[in-house]
Chains A and B, each alone.
Chain A
Amino acid sequence: MRTEIPPGTLYMLILKALARFGPMHGYGIALHIQQTTEDVLVVEEGSLYPALQRMLVKDWVKAEWRQTENNRRARYYTLTPLGRKQLDTEIREFERVMTAIRRVIQPA
């Protein structure tokens, strides 16, 4: 079964993917999220782009056009120091929420 990604975690997933695998283009990010989560999480692929634009505006990522291995022109996104800091924040926040949720669902 495939699940829509939880709301608000898209930034975190993108940032994490970039932190782990280095500069990637949008399609690459989509693939990595899918593969890493063993196809459990599915991103509506297009929705990456508005998110990436917002991240560019916030200076969490940088973008530059490069050639892919298959000789296509693609835009590669690189994590900035600010983005790395943001990733930590996002993860911390996510853990906090998860812990809270776990407390609710765990039998007492």
Chain B
Amino acid sequence: MPELWRKLSSARRRVEIDADLQEEMRTHIEMRASDSGDPDAARRQFGNTTLLLEDSRAAWGWPQLESWLRDFRFALRGLARRPAFAATVVFTLALGIGASSTIYSLIDAVLVRSLPYPHSERIAFLEESKPADQRSHTPVAPGRLEDWQNLNSSFEFLAGSHVDSITDTTGQIPERLSAAFVSPQFFSVLQTSPSVGRVFTPEEERYGGPQSVIISDGLWRRRFAADPNALGRTLILADLHYVIAGVMPPQFQYPAPTTEIWIPKQAQPALMQIREARFYQVIGRLKPGVTLEQAQADLAAVQQKLGVQYPKTDSGWTVAMEPLKERIVGKIRLVLWLLFGSVTLLLLITCANVACLLLARLNSRSAEIATRRSLGAGRAAIARQLFAEGLVYGLAGGFLGMAATFAGIDYLRKRLPEIPRISELAVDTRMLAVGAAISLLAAVLFSLAPILQTFRRDLAAALIQGGRSVVGTRQRLPRFLVSAQLALATALLIGAGLFLRSLMQIHDTPLGFQPANILTLHVAGSFNESPDSVAERHRRILDSLSAIPGVTAVSMSTGLPGVSPAWPREFEIAGEAAPGGLLRFTSWRIVTSDYFQTIGIPLTAGRTCRMNPDPKQPFETLVNRGFAARYFQNRDPIGHSIQAGPQGDVVTQIVGVVADAREDGQNTEPQPMIYACGFLRYWPDSDYLIQTRTPAGIANSAREAIRVVEPARPVYSVRLLEDALQGALSQTRFRTLLISLFSILALTLAAIGLYGVMAYMVVQRTREIGIRLALGALPGQIVGEILRSGGVLAIAGAIAGVALAGVSAKLLGTLLYGVRPSDPTSFVSGTGVLLVVALLSCLIPARRATRIDPTQALREQ
């Protein structure tokens, strides 16, 4: 393109072109002057030489590009001239962008994005439920699942799975692997094939068929260094040989992110007949075009028919369904939106703060801008320059903010492993695009306010003032922005207060048991073992543990108290029909008889239970006071029998009552509870609890003692009960920490903003204050006046913040514990902290005002 070439080649002769033009124009004016005899008229007729020269020069260049570059250079120079100011702006911005895009990425990964399976919106999670009882949601019995598969018309595929841990003795040292036993069609529901190898064949899924296993990407890399020849190799799991059939891709994390192996369930025909054996987590793939509601109605009708066919086991039951994604992330949603809300407030504060800073800076530059305009700079040129500045700040802040986001995401992934789908959290192009968009938007916003303000301002007035200020300059926008920041900070402080108070309430509430001096651990076991051998093993291990010197009590339970919620299970009190003929549900724990002594739950009536080694004899049972109060009112529960399951396949006799303990969690009220005493025959992988005066020191002796009696079993999750309790609260604590952090940042930023506005006001009024001091005004009066005008901003902000907090705290509802959303303590202390900090940030400028030297103030201006 010749034109482009001419432009490019002209670059070397810029000076020459310029000289030519100048000479040409001069000659023109001279010729005109000598023709007309009037040099002034000639000049007038010619026009503004400087401007024309500029225009002519522009013909050879890329005027747009060049002026942008010039504006950028200018902005960068300005930045370098005031490093403290620039650093404040850029860091504030980076903070806002970094914090918000980290949290937005988290929300995107967990809540917004679909699950990593094709057409995942069609995958539903199914449970059995009894409409009569809210607590009755349970997994599905395999026999019933088969009936559903055969009779429904809404699902392409239905499949069940249950998780278990399994001992792998392929290598020298036994290792515990996290396994999922899956029914046929499991991989079809998720429509995901192994990245290497194949899914199970129908023969492998049948009872008695060949044993095969699919392994996770992680296990494949760890154990086989990602060797494709791992296919066909054998793993020895629970003493059986399994051939590796495939490797799942890394994003495949169902049923659990920790799952390392998938094994076909190969359910025995006898098991398929037991309609009470509810253990399958069922997922189904809806046929295209079928809604969840239609499928729900369809399966409810199917279950109704089954209720007629099997009245004893199936009547009164129906099907509960929700999208699989909802099942996985539903519980975390509220917390994430809470973080979203707080981080958005923080982002708004940072934006307001930066806008304030830039406005204040603009005020000190109004004279410069007015001069530029009167010298012929067009509005567009000034706007472009201001925009270039905004862009420089926006990009610098955005760049740092991105770096902060990378760090933040990394931190969250490490810090919050328990959040579902956290492994899908990653820095991705979308997030980068959003970050870039935020910084551009911020740049536009930053420059917009100054641009508008520039154009509104009276040019002549600004020139006359020449940078001098007038008494009573209204800074409406900055004042509003500061008030807004204070309001948002108040709301965040109150929110943080509510969470802190919740956490304190949790810690202050008595647990009902003594978690100190207790070591807990697991010994790997599998559902493949026979119940008799499981019971035998438990007894052996308990004996060997209690023989360790210093151990004062040893017991087992189906869950750690205060850490793992007890499962609800149906029951009947022998000889009493429940109202409406329905079964009741309540929390059950199966424990050994020393459990109560080990964790210090006091007996309040009757005696403690005895272990009956014969499974055919009824268990002895303790109930808690809540249970006694709820189901026996004024009667004595001792001596009554409890039956579990409609056929009464578990019969237990109540021999005593214990105090209520927070078994289901530290922030959950004690529920009515049945403690059945036994050797946990059906619970091969339960919790051991060891009471000793030196729980940490006993860990190695405990491992050694178990190794002697069970050399092939891995011992895992060895930890103090107190640590486990802390761990159970880690998410609660972490969100409190994050919100407190956000609120402290918000408070700091708002304080800086207020300080900036007040300090600027004092500078603006230097002359006025100087005169007043000279005329005898007392320093106290001046201080009072400045504090008052800052106080107005702070109080206005606090009021708005309290209102905002009042409205939004209602949404927190279930996240709070032991405090009402309108908790006066949190509101008063949050507002109080804000007002005190606001006062402090006004004090410095106020004191500075009283030190103004009148003579100097007058001389300077």
Residue positions of A touching B, CB distance < 8 A: 25-27, 30, 44-47, 49-50, 52-54, 56-59, 65, 72-75
Contacts and interface: CB of A to CB of B under 8 A. Distances in A.
Given A25-B24, A72-B31, A74-B27, 17 more contacts: A27-B27, A27-B28, A30-B28, A46-B28, A46-B46, A46-B48, A47-B55, A49-B24, A49-B28, A49-B52, A49-B56, A50-B58, A52-B56, A57-B3, A57-B10, A58-B3, A72-B27
A34 B59 CA distance: 25
Given A53-B56, A56-B59, A73 B25 contact: no
Contacts of A26: 24-25, 28
A72 to B, nearest CB: 6
A49 B21 contact: yes
Interface majority SS (helix, strand, loop, mixed), chain A:
helix
Contacts of B52: 46-47, 49-50
12 contacts: A26-B24, A26-B28, A27-B32, A45-B28, A46-B28, A49-B24, A49-B56, A50-B55, A50-B56, A50-B58, A52-B56, A53-B57
A57 B7 contact: yes
A65 B55 CA distance: 21
B23 A73 contact: yes
B28 A47 contact: no
Contacts of B7: 57
Given A45-B45, A49-B56, A50-B56, A75 B2 contact: no
Contacts of B3: 57-59
Interface string B637-678: 000000000000000000000000000000000000000000
A46 B59 contact: no
A74 to B, nearest CB: 5
Interface in B27-56: 27-28, 30-32, 45-49, 52-53, 55-56
Contacts of B28: 25-27, 30, 45-46, 49
Nearest to A68: B31
Nearest to B55: A50
Given A26-B24, A46-B52, A73-B23, A57 B59 contact: yes
Contacts of B53: 49
B60 interface: yes
Interface residues of B, number: 28
A25 B25 CA distance: 11
B32 A47 contact: no
Contacts of B59: 50, 53-54, 56-57
A73 B22 CA distance: 13
Residue among A30, A45, A58, A59 having the largest count of chain B Cβ atoms under 10 Å:
A45
Interface in B229-283: none
B25 A75 contact: no
A12 to B, nearest CB: 18
B6 interface: yes
Contacts of A65: 20
A30 B35 CA distance: 13
B23 A44 contact: no
A47 B55 CA distance: 9
A18 to B, nearest CB: 16
Nearest to B7: A57
A57 B2 CA distance: 9
Contact of A27 (B2, B31, B60): B31
Contacts of A45: 28, 32, 45-47
A56 B59 CA distance: 9
Contact of B47 (A47, A56, A58, A73): A47
A17 to B, nearest CB: 15
Contacts of B47: 44-47
B485 to A, nearest CB: 49
Interface in B802-829: none
A46 B25 contact: yes
Nearest to A46: B47
A52 B31 CA distance: 18
A13 B59 CA distance: 19
Nearest to A44: B47
